[in-house]
Amino acid sequence: MDTDIDRVDISLLQMSDSFFPTGLYATSNGLESLSQIKKLKRKDISRFITIHLRQVIGPSDCTALGNAYESCRKRDFASLLTADKSLYFMRMVEETRSASVRSGNQLLKCVSSFTKYKKVLRDYQNAIRNGNATGVYPVSLGVATWSLDIPKNKAGLILFYGFAVSVIGAALRLGILEHLERQQIIHELRPVILESIMKNIERPISNMWQFAPGLDILQMKHEMMDSKMFIT
Amino acid sequence: MSSNRIPRVGIGGPVGSGKTMLIEQIVPILSAKGYKAGIISNDVVSKEDADRMRQNLATEKGLVPEELVIGVATGGCPHTAVREDPSINLSVVEEMESKYNYLDLILIESGGDNITTTFSPALADYFIYIIDVTGGDKYPRKRGLGIENCDLLLINKIDIAPYVGADLKIMERDAKIVRNKKPTVFVNSKTGQGVDIVVSYIIRDLLFEASPKTLVNN
């Protein structure tokens, strides 16, 4: 039997699966409102995701994930709560903030249904219940992946891959991409994903940032749309 | 089941089968009996259904607080949202349960979908599937998970059956066969015909004849 594989690899696949119940399939992250303004092509989707990864998901979500993971490793619960609150307050658009909280809470609920004995998972859920934390998705993912012994960089992979797949899935359902283009884009994004993880996962929480005003405006426009398929 | 879990009815069915109108008929009957309901509406491409119910049931009639009619977008995947990955719906349900524990039940309307729709048991405790006569009297016979598995099958728009050549007796017979004698009710959601029977099923089979919480607590 090949010894290069272990149970953690299976957990990694499980958490990355688009069937993992966190509701990410229902998010377009502003793509739906962009598609109403402009006729989008394949290259626009790549660019849309790349800007998101470099300007938002990397410097804010991945940083929060890395810090949450380290907080669990060091048993530093106060730092975990700081990562949670810092990211929550950095999300300016209510719709995306709320979607992140919903997905994060469902992620914790799901993981705690099969890893019942991790104290930090329980403590974090209790903190959410008591109003001391929010459960934003990247921080919840940090707690969950640490609880499953998934290495930190690979937790970053789950974050970026999940985001890319959710936007690409939205593009497919909005009729912008066909199924092969979808896979081609995921393939092409590999260097951006790796670069974004390396740049951001060790970043201190005090240096967390995001800057994508165009995307923020798109997401605000999405909030105001009367007719929509996606929650963001 | 957690102690603060509020009983939930999932209502599924094809686009235009009358799900929203059914809820608009059910809520006033429940309300007259003292039962308080929250409503979650899964829309496929709009929030029209939620907006309409908020207007009709909350704003105009005051039967439900406006904040208790919530629209959920489904990412174009209506049955994923209630079956494969009900996490967004569960999240909204849990929020209702923690903030409005006085509710007697929560009605969850799926987005319009096909005959394979079912609800995750984690999301809905009682499943109503609604079809209408315009699909022809072959509809129940064609089966499908929704028709076969639901707790209560409703056949709507019976007033126009003669005009579309649908024989209700055939539909009743076939429904009995494919559903292994589980109940089927003929309704007209527009006039309310048959909806009182639907409500009595909900009270009996979901609420187990429990009195409304507000009456018990007072």
- What pLDDT does A187 receive? 97
The CATH classification of domain B8-212, taken from the options 3.40.50.300, 3.20.20.140, 3.30.980.10, 3.30.2000.10: 3.40.50.300
- What pLDDT does B74 receive? 86
Are A229 and B76 in contact (CB < 8 Å)? yes
Are A227 and B46 in contact (CB < 8 Å)? yes
Chain B interface mutation, best of A108, A231, A232, highest count of B Cβ atoms under 10 Å? A231
pLDDT of B151 strictly over 80: yes
- What pLDDT does A44 receive? 96
One-letter amino acid of B122: A
- Name the residue among A19, A28, A230 with its Cβ closest to that of B85: A19
Q: How confident is the model at residue B77 (pLDDT cuts 50, 70, 90)?
A: confident
A29 inside 8 A of chain B by CB: no
- What pLDDT does B58 receive? 86
Please provide the average confidence, as pLDDT, over all residues in chain B: 92
One-letter amino acid of B3: S
- Name the residue among A25, A103, A226 with its Cβ closest to that of B77: A25
Report the pLDDT averaged over residues B50-60. Answer: 88
User: What does the pLDDT look like over B135-145, one tens digit per residue?
Assistant: 899 999 989 89
Distance CA B189, CA B177 (A): 25
Distance CA A183, CA A167 (A): 12
Burial class (CB in 10 A: 0-12, 13-18, 19+), A216: middle
Q: How confident is the model at residue B122 (pLDDT cuts 50, 70, 90)?
A: very high
Are A226 and B86 in contact (CB < 8 Å)? no
Please provide the average confidence, as pLDDT, over all residues in chain A: 95
pLDDT of B170 strictly over 70: yes
Report the pLDDT averaged over residues A66-93. Answer: 97
- What pLDDT does B3 receive? 65
- What pLDDT does B113 receive? 78
CB contacts < 8 Å between A and B, how many?
66
Report the pLDDT averaged over residues A207-222. Answer: 95
Report the pLDDT averaged over residues A44-57. Answer: 97
pLDDT of A43 strictly over 70: yes
- What pLDDT does B91 receive? 94
- Record the tokens describing residue A196, joined without a space: 């974004």
Question: Could you tell me which residue, A45 or A226, shows the higher pLDDT?
Answer: A45
Distance CA A58, CA A138 (A): 11
- Name the residue among B73, B74, B91 with its Cβ closest to that of A105: B91
A19 inside 8 A of chain B by CB: yes
- What pLDDT does B2 receive? 59
Q: How confident is the model at residue A168 (pLDDT cuts 50, 70, 90)?
A: very high
Chain B interface mutation, best of A106, A168, A177, highest count of B Cβ atoms under 10 Å? A106
Least confident stretch, A15-24, A66-75, A102-111, A127-136: A15-24
What residues does each domain of chain A span? 28-221
- Name the residue among B76, B92, B94 with its Cβ closest to that of A173: B76
Q: What element of type H or E holds A143?
A: helix A137-147
Are A230 and B73 in contact (CB < 8 Å)? yes
Does residue A143 contact residue A121 with C-beta atoms inside 8 Å?
yes
Give the whole-number percent of chain B exceeding pLDDT 90.
Answer: 76
- What pLDDT does B47 receive? 74
- What pLDDT does A112 receive? 95
Q: Considering only CB atoms, which chain A residues are within 8 Å of B120?
A: none
- What pLDDT does A19 receive? 85
pLDDT of A2 strictly over 70: no
pLDDT of A191 strictly over 80: yes
The CATH classification of domain A28-221, taken from the options 3.40.50.300, 3.40.50.1000, 3.30.565.10, 1.10.4190.10: 1.10.4190.10
A223 inside 8 A of chain B by CB: no
- What pLDDT does A1 receive? 58
pLDDT of A6 strictly over 60: yes
A17 inside 8 A of chain B by CB: no
- Residue positions counted in chain A: 232
DSSP string, chain B: --TTPPPEEEEE--TTSSHHHHHHHHHHHHHHTT--EEEEEEESS-SHHHHHHIIIIIIIT-SS-GGGEEEEE-TT-HHIIIII-THHHHHHHHHHHHH-TT-SEEEEEPPS--TT----TTT-SEEEEEEEGGG-TTTGGG--HHHHH-SEEEEE-GGGHHHHT--HHHHHHHHHHHTTT--EEE-BTTTTBTHHHHHHHIIIIISTTPPPHHHHH-
ipTM > 0.85, yes or no: no
